[in-house]
A and B are shown apart, each in its own frame.
Chain A
Amino acid sequence: MIFRVYVNFKKGILDPEAEAIKQTITSMGYKPITNIVKGKFFDIEVDTNQDYFSQIEKISKDLLSNPVIENFKIIKK
């Protein structure tokens, strides 16, 4: 079983890297692109027959994301 956890900044949190990527894309000529949200994901392999979603949720809250600045989303693959 694999869970994918997506983590990205909450709206309004300054992300200079995403801003630099957006500016580069704009300079490449893709004018309609107005915003880029950058994030990361973790693929977590779990070896169990039991439902492990709540544990992955706890890991996401406690370690993978910082609730002050980031959101997370879990998808079971």
Chain B
Amino acid sequence: MAGKKDISIIIFPGSNCDRDLMVAINKCMGVMPKLVWHKTYHIKKTDMIFLPGGFSFGDYLRAGTIATKSPATKEIIRLSKKGVPIIGICNGFQILTECKLLDGALIKNFGQLFKCKETFLKVVNNKNKFLKNLNLNSILNFPIAHSQGNFHIDESGLKKLEDNNQIVFKYSSKLGKVDEFNNPNGSVKNIAGIINKEKNVLGLMPHPERAVEKNTSKDGIDFFKSIREII
């Protein structure tokens, strides 16, 4: 990372992970991000955009749906076409699927429970700029906290994701076993994170920003350091 970089965090009414994300980015990437209110019509220069977790607009209608109509989201769509890296975490991932920057949809967890627990993620693909500095098949310990994190996509969509190397994280055991016992929410093929075809938009349900402190897992530090390299 050379020179001064601008990182933006978009805040919607009901976002609640924006401050944690700001602290994590500052600590791990050495940049104090700008907090951008969702009513911003023009996002000037930015090198990377984060959409934080939370319950934007109270999860009304479907999680993430109302946020897709915010002026800032239209800017995100515009900037994504220019190749700006965009990362959505939890509710941010839901917003990215709802505005069609990422494929699939996030529906209610299997069993209908809100799941708040530590999970292990296997890096199943690192052939993209976000994760190229993480080892293939390495395991990251990030917590989840969601009720609508069950990733759904039809068979042809799943095949496209697989063929284009768009599936990047899968829920696994601590030792990397990907199976139904290590699937916290019923996601198709244990999918926890995907990227778009152009490989500049990443969405994941688990929270790397909650894994950077001394009393938590520190694997989030590796994640943020990896993406720091791309800007």
User: Contact residues of A with B, CB < 8 Å?
Assistant: 13-17, 20, 63-64, 66, 68-69
Q: Tell me if B61 counts as interface (CB < 8 A to partner A).
A: yes
- A10 and chain B: residue at smallest CB distance: B154
- B152 and chain A: residue at smallest CB distance: A69
| Inter-chain pairs besides A17-B112, A68-B104, A68-B157, 16 sampled, C-beta below 8 Å | A13-B107, A14-B108, A14-B152, A14-B186, A16-B109, A16-B110, A16-B111, A63-B69, A64-B61, A66-B105, A68-B97, A68-B152, A68-B153, A68-B154, A69-B105, A69-B107
Q: Tell me if B150 counts as interface (CB < 8 A to partner A).
A: yes
Chain B residues within an 8 Å CB radius of A63: 61, 65, 69
The interface size bin for chain B is 20 to 34
User: Contact residues of B with A, CB < 8 Å?
Assistant: 61-62, 65, 69, 97-98, 104-105, 107-112, 150, 152-154, 157, 186
B interface majority secondary structure: loop
Contact of B108 among A15, A64, A66, A68 (CB under 8 A): A15
Residue of A63, A64, A66 with most partner-chain B CB within 10 A:
A66
> A30 CA to B152 CA in the complex, in Å?
32
Contact between chains at B110 and A14 (CB < 8 Å):
yes
What's the minimum C-beta distance from B4 to chain A, rounded to whole angstroms?
A: 38
> A29 CA to B61 CA in the complex, in Å?
33
> A14 CA to B152 CA in the complex, in Å?
9
What's the minimum C-beta distance from B108 to chain A, rounded to whole angstroms?
A: 6
Contact of B65 among A13, A16, A66 (CB under 8 A): A66
Chain B residues within an 8 Å CB radius of A16: 108-112
- B98 and chain A: residue at smallest CB distance: A66
> A15 CA to B150 CA in the complex, in Å?
11
- A40 and chain B: residue at smallest CB distance: B61
> A2 CA to B110 CA in the complex, in Å?
36
Contact between chains at B61 and A14 (CB < 8 Å):
no
A-B contacts, 21 listed (Cβ < 8 Å): A13-B107, A13-B152, A14-B107, A14-B110, A14-B150, A14-B152, A16-B110, A16-B112, A17-B108, A17-B112, A20-B112, A63-B61, A63-B65, A66-B62, A66-B98, A66-B105, A68-B153, A68-B154, A68-B157, A69-B107, A69-B152
What's the minimum C-beta distance from B157 to chain A, rounded to whole angstroms?
A: 8
Residue of A13, A15, A20, A64 with most partner-chain B CB within 10 A:
A13
Closest 9 pairs (CB-CB, A-B)? A16-B112, A68-B105, A69-B105, A66-B105, A16-B108, A66-B62, A69-B107, A69-B152, A16-B111
Chain A residues within an 8 Å CB radius of B62: 66
> A13 CA to B112 CA in the complex, in Å?
13
- A65 and chain B: residue at smallest CB distance: B62
Chain A residues within an 8 Å CB radius of B65: 63, 66
> A14 CA to B157 CA in the complex, in Å?
17
